[in-house]
Amino acid sequence: MPDFIINTHDNVYIPAEDSYLLADNLEIEQGQSVLEIGTGSGIVAMYASKLTDSITVTDINFDACELARKNFEDNEIEGIEILFGNLFEPVENRKFDVILFNTPYLPTEEGEVLDDTINYAFDGGLNGRKVIDLFLDEVSNHLNDGGIVQMIQSSLSGNEETLQKFDEMGFIAEIKASEHFFFEDITLINAYKVI
């Protein structure tokens, strides 16, 4: 896998095991259009840029958008569209072949909420599904037929529930890869939108 220069920022999620679980398992073909929700440092998009030229990234954290821009520039990666905003808001009427999302999947109680925008990277609400369910509600509207969703979540935030939701939407979904940590499995779910 390529080595990239990765600048970091105190207010932006630093690439960790979950980032690389997604980056190492990308299913993207040349010419496909890719949307990454919550790009953070831009690391996953940088790996994706080795596979296709049509990439759009969004983030609800403006510092993340600026950091991703700097990382793309420092790695001489051109042509990635960076949009500021929540989930699919910045790409309202657009569709893509591949949608990537390292979700904020940590179950978070009121006292654990961080008082800064980096909180967006972690905070999954009480059951870890606050953002995941909003994402699932909209994802089909932005994915081309025959496209794929690749998303990271945790066993703490209900993998089976996610698989069931995809099933109800007519997708074929599976846990493609996982890594075990102290009290949870971080999982990569691939969901294919069958024609």
CATH number belonging to the domain at 28-193, selected among 3.40.50.300, 3.40.640.10, 3.40.50.150, 3.30.1370.160: 3.40.50.150
**Checking DSSP bridges between strand 184-193 and strand 143-154, what pairing results, if any?**
antiparallel
- If you count them, how many residues does the chain have? 195
pLDDT digits (tens, 9 = 90+) for 19-35: 999 999 999 999 999 99
Indicate yes or no: pTM above 0.85: yes
Q: Domain extents for the chain?
A: 28-193
pLDDT digits (tens, 9 = 90+) for 53-96: 999 999 999 999 999 999 999 999 999 999 999 999 999 999 99
Q: Give the whole-angstrom CA distance, residue 2 versus residue 80.
A: 17
Q: What is the structure's pLDDT at 123?
A: 55
Position 175 confidence tier, pLDDT thresholds 50, 70, 90 = very high
pLDDT digits (tens, 9 = 90+) for 148-158: 999 999 888 88
